[in-house]
Structures are given as structure tokens and as C-alpha cells.
């Protein structure tokens, strides 16, 4: 019987008030329910991921704040 490996991907979020983080966490949970494994990180935690060498798919979840400004964590 072959060993099945769950497909992995990376979720990066930038959130001012937590909404984008909540959406990213929901994507992570839904992915797990469908046999995928997601690593989730805040965009400001650049030491935890390296987009230059990333080979997995990447999902970005980023909110805006005020008049369309990026969140502090992006």
C-alpha cells in the first residue's frame, strides 16, 4: 500500500484588526478537512518563510484598513 503524503501549501496573512487572520485560519481548517496541510504565518514574520525558495503554492490573505491602506503587519 503506497504511503500518501498530504499536499502542502503556505498561507500568509496581513491583518490590522484580525479579520484577515480569521479568514486565513478558516482556510487552513478547511484545507485540513479536505486532506491538505497548510502552514500559516503572518506576513510580518519574515524569518519563518522564504518566498525566494518557496516551491509550494502560496495563498495571500490581506485586508485593507482606513482608506485602503495596507495593515501594519503587511
73 belongs to a structural domain: no
pLDDT bucket at 3, cuts 50 / 70 / 90: low
User: Is 36 within the bounds of a domain?
Assistant: yes
State the total domains in the chain.
1
Task: Tell me which DSSP letter residue 41 carries.
Answer: E
pLDDT in tens, 50-67: 999 999 999 999 998 888
Tens-place pLDDT, residues 13-49: 999 999 999 999 999 999 999 999 999 999 999 889 9
- Is position 2 within any domain? no
1 belongs to a structural domain: no
Residue 56 in domain: yes
The residue segments making up the domain with residue 23 are 8-62
52 within domain boundaries: yes
Amino acid at each position: 500500500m503506497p504511503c500518501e503524503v498530504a499536499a502542502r501549501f503556505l498561507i500568509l496573512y496581513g491583518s490590522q484588526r484580525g479579520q484577515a487572520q480569521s479568514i486565513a485560519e478558516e482556510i487552513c481548517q478547511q484545507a485540513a478537512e479536505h486532506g491538505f496541510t497548510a502552514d500559516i504565518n503572518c506576513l510580518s514574520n519574515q524569518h519563518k518563510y522564504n518566498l525566494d525558495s518557496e516551491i509550494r503554492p502560496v495563498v495571500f490573505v490581506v485586508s485593507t484598513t482606513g482608506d485602503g491602506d495596507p495593515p501594519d503587519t503587511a
